[in-house]
Structure 1
Amino acid sequence: MAIDGHESDDWPAARYVAPLLESHGRSLVLYARQLCNDAEDAVQLAFIDLATQSAMPQDPAAWLFRAVRHKALTLARSRVRRHRHERTAGEARAGWFQVTDDDALDGQAVVEALGSLDQIDRETIVAHLWGGLTFRQIGTLLDMSASTAFRRYEAGLVLLRKRVEQPCATKS
């Protein structure tokens, strides 16, 4: 199959884009969902950028998360400008992940708890837990040290646990 005039066999990006999409696609969409309403578009744009690179980035996962973050923030700013220009009401934000019947946690409670965290804490938790990024990679992504990323992750988890695990009030 020809892609932009290149046969896929001689196009270097064809060898690594599909495996990266398979291994990181869902976590990248989850990560982008906290930053914009067009998460799939942000991920697609990042993969297009990756495919046009002349060489594979040294750390493709971290590169993809940073690219998705940039694309998502750009898309979010564009949406705000467009809505302000059109003077339309904001759209309801999509959930950060899809809940299935067999989930052990109450997905809606986790989404609400994540939404109540600082953006940096939220990004750190999502990038590490669902994205599989190391704290070094998260530090690079968010312009902080690995130890700061770890501290933000730990503090965010403490708050998340408190908000999700609040016991139900019982009547006596």
Structure 2
Amino acid sequence: MTTDSMIIRRSLEEPSAFAELFERHAGPIGRFAAQRVGAESAKDVLSETFLIAFRKRATFDTAWDSAVPWLFGIASRVIHKQRTREARHWRSVVASATVAESHAPSGAERADERADAVAGVQALSARLAALSARDRETLLLYAWGDLTYEQIAVALDVPVGTVRSRLNRVRKRLGAQETQTTREEESNGRTVEQGA
């Protein structure tokens, strides 16, 4: 099997060979970007990511067989430049969830389900927004990018220990928020039934 490293080396002599790298990895990079900045902006992130990768392909460390961490690192930096768009996306998610809640069909059970879904989207958006940019980036590379700790370290150009400590901090913070949310729900008479 041809490795990403081999494709990149070949593309230095034959630039059109780089298209194979795009075909291999555009899907995961595009999905990651869409989850971060929305579908429309993701197209721009994807294009810019591969344009930068193409221009900087001579700097790729060919000791790595896979270009995935390198590409996710480029994508993360492109997304970082588009923080304003990301913030706008999360605000629109919350707003659309609120609009969806106000247009819920009749029927108490269906309305309750929709209200719970809206509350979940709003809570997730708020929790992500409350994280530092570094912690959020690390979490999203892990959760949405499906990268290993080592790949995240390469993508963000940080030691693996930093990735571990960031994810641990995020887990503790999100766990504390979940506990607080559960307490608030219980005090408002909304509890989750066990085994339901």
TM-score interval, normalised by the smaller of the two chains: 0.5 to 0.7
Q: Which residue number in structure 2 is paired with residue 42 of structure 1?
A: 45
CA contact (8 A) 1:110 1:164 kept: no
Shift of 1:129: 0.8
The alignment status of 1:95 with 2:113, answered yes or no, reads no
**Aligned residues of 2:30 and 2:46 also touching (Cα < 8 A):** yes
- Alignment partners' CA distance in 2, 1:132 and 1:91: 20
After TM superposition, the structure 1 = structure 2 runs for residues 123-142 of structure 1, keeping only pairs within 5 Å, are 123-142=137-156
Q: Report the number of matched residues.
A: 144
Report the Cα distance in structure 1 between the residues aligned to 2:81 and 2:141, rounded to whole angstroms: 19
Amino acid at match of 1:61: V
Q: What is the CA distance between 1:74 and its match in structure 2? A: 3.8
The answer for the alignment partner of 2:73 in structure 1 is 66
Which of the numbers 143, 155, 160 marks the counterpart of 2:157? 143
Note the aligned Cα RMSD (angstroms): 3.6
Measured in 2, the distance between the counterparts of 1:64 and 1:91 equals 19
1:131 is aligned with what amino acid?
G
- Report if aligned partners of 1:135, 1:146 keep a CA contact under 8 Å in 2: yes
In structure 2, relative to structure 1, the CA distance for the partners of 1:144 and 1:16 (3 Å cut) is closer
Q: How many Å separate the matches in 2 of 1:153 and 1:21?
A: 26
Aligned to 1:24: 29
1:111 corresponding residue in structure 2: 125
Which residue number corresponds to residue 168 of structure 2? 154
The answer (yes or no) to whether the contact 1:124–1:152 under 8 Å persists in 2 is: yes
Deviation at 1:41, TM superposition (A): 1.8
Q: Which residue of 1 aligns with 2:16?
A: 11
Cα distance in 2 for partners of 1:160, 1:96 equals 20
Partner amino acid, structure 2, of 1:64: L
Gaps of 5+ in 2: 1-14, 98-113, 190-196
Which amino acid is 1:70 matched to?
Answer: R
Note the residue ranges of structure 1 that are not aligned, 5 or more in a row.
Answer: 1-9, 80-89
Greater C-alpha radius of gyration: 2
Structure 1 vs Structure 2: percent identity of aligned residues?
A: 22
Task: Determine the C-alpha separation between the residues in 2 that align with 1:41 and 1:65.
Answer: 15
TM-score, normalised on structure 1?
0.65
**Structure-2-length-normalised TM-score:** 0.58
